[in-house]
Amino acid sequence: MPIHRRTFPGEPQQLRAARSWTRATLNGHPHSEDAALIVTELGTNALMHTASGDPAGAFHVALTVSELTVTIAVTDSGDAKTSSHLASRR
């Protein structure tokens, strides 16, 4: 199965580029629109919640394509922007 990879700079306008690249890469595939939406959502999460959204950040997209399926991987730069905490209840 072919794997297509691309790295996008960590800037909000790059989400449109990632969506367009996904559509172009999957040209004619029955799941291309769904895949473009998923890439946009995962890319948004990477930019909002990790170091991918920092000035030097980036996010990476990999599409593994078969006749009927598309496997999508979006990798961020790690390091969450916020830390989780446990609130105590009385």
As a whole number, mean pLDDT of residues 15-23 equals 97
pLDDT in tens, 30-54: 999 999 999 999 999 999 999 999 9
Query: 27: pLDDT confidence band, cut at 50, 70 and 90?
Result: very high
H helical segments located in 9-56: 14-25, 32-49
How far apart are the C-alpha atoms of 79 and 90, rounded to whole Å?
32
pLDDT in tens, 51-87: 999 999 999 999 999 988 899 999 998 877 666 556 6
Question: 């399926």: which residue's tokens?
Answer: 69
pLDDT recorded at residue 18: 98
